[in-house]
Amino acid sequence: MSSALRDQALADAAGLAQRHPTVFTPPLKQRLVTIAVILALVGLFVFGFHRLGFSLTRFLNGLTQLGSFVGFMIPPSPGTWAKAVIYFHALAETIAIAFLGTLLAFLFSFPLAFLAARNATINRGVQLLVRRFSDSVRGVDTLIWALIWVTVVGLGPFAGVLAIMTSDIGNFTKLFSEAIESADKKAGEGVVSTGGSRLHEIRFGILPQVFPVIIGQTLYFFESNTRSATIIGIVGAGGIGLHLSEQIRTLEWQGVSFIILLILITVAVIDFASTKLRIAIIGKSQVAV
């Protein structure tokens, strides 16, 4: 049957092309726009390539160097047992930083998010103010926050906790408030129609809808914060990053690969655990973040 259909279609090819011109030859204007966009993107790429000083010889030299580093990395080894103990302690510290940072950010941004959401805020001015605040906080990278907190509370993991907390207050406030804004209005209207106040509306009409989403996002960020927490040590804010950058700078490649391996395993475990937890708390249907 399908071959008969195919023969028929082929026989009528000219007719088909005439009836659906846009499928066979897209309009000239559309094609020109596509070509112009691609040319602009490629042009910018070539310009950047030159400006940033890429060159083939430098690239190839770097690659050979990199190859030899990878050779030195095998097998991964911490060197001595004493160092291994230090690394494991630093790893625990890293997870603690990520956990506390995420938890504190959650506690602070939960109320802020309601203020930043159009359908739950007190008034428009407050909403815009909170929005701009969270945008500015998000515009600054975690590492910069870490540097600033180091100058306040001194070197150490506490600065890392505060850094992750600060940058996630920005992220969470934005994400949570978007979740709140996309909540179905009808539940809230129902609560109001039975005589509920605005607070009742938020508590019984909006919160049950958004809470699973918010928890899902928080767990997702816990995982990504574990990754961030592994590098803030580079600026002295605790965790395993300090040891990692030290090992890289002193060219102790076996130690480097050992620490990277530790990080990979930890992130995989936390990823697994948080996915399980997410499904346990909010059910499989709402895993979308």
Partner 1 sequence: MPAASPRLPDERLAPLTASYAEALRQRRLSSLFLMAAIIVAAIVSGLLAEVAPARFVQNIGDFFSYFGRIAVFDNSVPDRPDLTGRFVLFDVREWMWGIDRWMRLLIDTLLIAYLGTVLGTIGAFALCFLAAQNLMPNKWIRLSVKRYLEFCRTVPELVFALIFVIAFGLGPVPGVLAIAIHTMGANGKLFSEVAENIDMKPVEGVMAAGGSWVQVMRFAVVPQVLSNFVSYTLLRFEINVRGASVMGFVGAGGIGQNLIEAIRKFYYTDVSAILVLIIATVMIIDLLTERLRHALIGKESSK
Residues in contact with partner 1 by the rule CB under 8 A: 2, 6, 41, 44-45, 47-49, 51-54, 58-59, 61-63, 65-66, 69, 92-93, 95-97, 99-100, 103, 135-136, 138-141, 143-144, 147-149, 151-154, 156-158, 160-162, 227-228, 230-231, 234-235, 238, 244-245, 248-249, 251, 256, 260, 263-264, 267-268
Nearer to partner 1, 84 or 96 (CB): 96
Q: What are phi and psi of 118, to 5 degrees?
A: -60, -35
To partner 1, the closest distance from the beta carbon of 47 in angstroms equals 8
Nearer to partner 1, 209 or 224 (CB): 224
Distance spanning both ends of the chain, measured CA to CA: 45
For residue 209 the two structure tokens come to 């809808």
Identify which of 259, 243, 242, 239 has the alpha carbon closest to the alpha carbon of residue 73.
Answer: 259
To partner 1, the closest distance from the beta carbon of 14 in angstroms equals 19
Note whether 158 and 126 are within 8 A (CB): no
- A 10 A CB-CB count for 178 gives 15
Nearer to partner 1, 15 or 54 (CB): 54
To partner 1, the closest distance from the beta carbon of 229 in angstroms equals 10
Nearer to partner 1, 192 or 251 (CB): 251
Q: CA 148 to CA 164: how far, in whole Å?
A: 12
Q: CA 202 to CA 188: how far, in whole Å?
A: 7
Q: CA 65 to CA 72: how far, in whole Å?
A: 11
Note whether 213 and 179 are within 8 A (CB): yes
For residue 114 the two structure tokens come to 């309601």
Q: What are phi and psi of 69, to 5 degrees?
A: -60, -45
Note whether 168 and 105 are within 8 A (CB): yes
To partner 1, the closest distance from the beta carbon of 223 in angstroms equals 10
What letter would DSSP give residue 80? Answer: S
Nearer to partner 1, 24 or 49 (CB): 49
* List of residues 6+ apart from 233 with CB closer than 8 A: 90, 94, 160, 239, 240, 241, 242, 243, 244, 245
To partner 1, the closest distance from the beta carbon of 238 in angstroms equals 7
To partner 1, the closest distance from the beta carbon of 18 in angstroms equals 22
Nearer to partner 1, 123 or 193 (CB): 193
To partner 1, the closest distance from the beta carbon of 171 in angstroms equals 11
Nearer to partner 1, 179 or 244 (CB): 244
